[in-house]
Amino acid sequence: MTALNPATLTALAVFPQLLREHFEAVPPEYRHWAPPSWEGVPSEPLTALEQLCHVRDIEVEGYQLRFVRTLREDRPLLASLDTETLAHEREYGRADAHEVLAAFAEARAGTVRMLAGLAPAQLARRAEFEGYGPVSLRALVHFLCSHDQQHLAGLQWLIGKVEGLDG
């Protein structure tokens, strides 16, 4: 195996800007809005603002921690995070979007720096990821990219629901 694909690193690096742009496409009066049904949502059932908070927390307490543990420990068991509990305990709905986006952008820049410097042997290190099974660190990187895309899709889904409302 080789180092990470440059397209993967680019996708990770540009995601904070894409997240900001997608969030800003949500009309301000709907950034706390929840539809009557979440059926069909491609991400967790979170308001636009809550999506930002979730992505920030998963970056730091989820993926960054998973990467570090996979590098330092022998086949660690990597826990999934309970989104609903985090959203409730941290009062996601009361967060300041600009602060959350800034914190996320800083965290993601750190993630990209860390991943860009990994050797193939480090990317091949193994772990057990709760809900996913056996994984390599390289696989975790792809799951992070997938998670990013789910949340862009979730914001688009919310915008679609808003646009579908009767005027």
Domains for the chain: give ranges and CATH numbers.
6-161 (1.20.120.450)
**CB–CB of 51/102 below 8 Å?**
no
For the beta carbon of residue 115, count every other beta carbon within 10 angstroms.
23
107 CB-contact burial (10 Å; exposed 0-12 / middle 13-18 / buried 19+)? buried
pTM summary value = 0.94
The pLDDT value given to residue 34? 96
Average confidence (pLDDT) over 39-61: 97
Question: What local confidence, expressed as pLDDT, does residue 166 receive?
Answer: 76
